Chain A
């Protein structure tokens, strides 16, 4: 178990190094570039040259990369040129990362809270109108472009429900402790701040939840269908166990393995979806920074955020693989 974890972490370091080199070269191939983004298209050649030199973009790419690695080791990932000009890329990441974590967490929570029970009920009533309706509904969920749904929620639902349609929190006097706005209020006892942050989270979280919901629903349904056919479920029924016990101990426990895998794989979809959702709701998270970063060619910020997204994605999937052992005793004994 420990050896397995260490091997996976070493692999992760390799992937990150390769990826950082690729991204570094890649981002420098991007058209436009930070100089045009900062000075505009009509800048004089002299001022362009001066800024190019100042940013170190005139040196060979490998030298730029090794300099970057050296600085990165000390926590210096460069200064933002477009998202929040002048701020360090690391600060931008640290500021915005909690926002995206909060948003993704609530999105996946919604997806699980709706998807798993619905998938279970659908499987139990296979072929019924309830089952068919849920299946078609989940397929429509996958077919709707996330940003379109986000706009619909923002423009229609927010006014109908009286919910805020942009930002993370109103300009209220709230104490910052962790950077997680919902958590800060709980720690300091400022419940109105928590409530306000939650209000801002609901709509973007619903928009972000649709795709993971659809996937979790379908996987749960398929897994429960598989398990319901198993001999041990029939045995449990015939020895007179009550329905809730069968459901909890026999059906759900065995059906959860593929569901947990899917939840891990959905972090990737969440990060991609966050770019679109956060842009629509002007939600100051990593996704919005990426969207703006692409627009304004902000190399340092793009580089750091994409690498961090990759690390988070890989680590979450490692945690998922490790959690198998907790759920499935057959894997633990091996």
Chain B
């Protein structure tokens, strides 16, 4: 029954697209021509490519302290640029360029991991609150209110400090949990707005089950702002992970590098060896900018007010 309905619905959708243009189609048309969106997309494309290929791109093993004999801890001496090591070494005598290249991988994992966890948590809470209403809504929203009444980074710090053995995963979790109330609110808002709209009324009148209405009719219609928010969260997650490392709440195991960790860990030598901080910082800024450019242009393109 439900299946038959959905295939019919797809046919109808197909008709609608051929006669007029859907919001998504017209948004895509505008995005394709937007230089700002394309810049962001190219940055992120290159970032993902580098992180996938980094094991082959990196000239050396990022965990191998091959230049360690050049490191003199007491005098803060760090291996300078030399043949075979264009950016020199880091505090542990490891090839800095290789660490930067391989670092993109964990950085991507932190961003995507935190966003996915935050998004799923928000999806569950927001859908529950918006679809069921009543006391479920009240309970969920009070939880969200308490979480939102704490400044976001402060919440992330508190969560990250909870774990006895900090690791990459605890960093991702701390950054992700902060995003849950944001996603939950977004989804609840758009679910509530749809509860009394015509298409939901029509589906109810046709006898479609409540679950099917929520998952096939209400949820797909709420995804626009959620996608925009996810793109922006990808950027903030990477930046906040760096802040956690800076406060000593990051992943202490630095054999597998991550940009935020590389940046947070070198604070003591910032004045003597600024390049050790500058490179990971520049990488973070460019990637965060790429995600933000995409997110902001997506937001504008999906805004029905801007449809022409």
Q: Could you tell me which A residues sit within 8 Å of B by CB distance? A: 15, 18-19, 22-23, 26, 29-32, 139-140, 142-148, 151, 155, 267-269, 271-273, 275-276, 279, 290-291, 294-295, 306, 309-310, 313-314
Contacts and interface: CB of A to CB of B under 8 A. Distances in A.
Given A139-B289, A306-B150, A146 B243 contact: yes
Contact of B162 (A19, A30, A142): A30
A275 B289 contact: no
B76 interface: no
Contacts of B243: 145-147, 276
Nearest to B35: A132
10 contacts: A15-B149, A29-B162, A143-B239, A143-B289, A145-B263, A147-B246, A155-B274, A290-B157, A306-B150, A313-B150
Interface in B259-278: 260, 263-264, 267, 270-271, 274, 277
Contacts of B288: 142-143
Interface of B: 145-146, 149-154, 157-158, 161-165, 235, 239, 242-243, 246-249, 260, 263-264, 267, 270-271, 274, 277, 281, 284-286, 288-289, 292-293, 296
A212 to B, nearest CB: 13
Contacts of A19: 146, 149-150
A26 B165 CA distance: 16
A188 B248 CA distance: 41
Given A269-B151, A294-B247, A306-B154, A26 B239 contact: no
A29 B153 CA distance: 19
Contacts of A140: 285, 289
Interface centre among B151, B239, B277, by most chain A C-beta atoms within 10 angstroms, is B151
A67 B295 CA distance: 49
Contacts, number: 109
A143 B162 contact: no
A272 B152 contact: yes
Nearest to B266: A151
Contacts of A267: 151
B162 A26 contact: yes
A140 B296 CA distance: 13
A151 B162 contact: no
Contacts of B267: 147, 151
A149 to B, nearest CB: 9
Contact of B158 (A26, A144, A271): A26
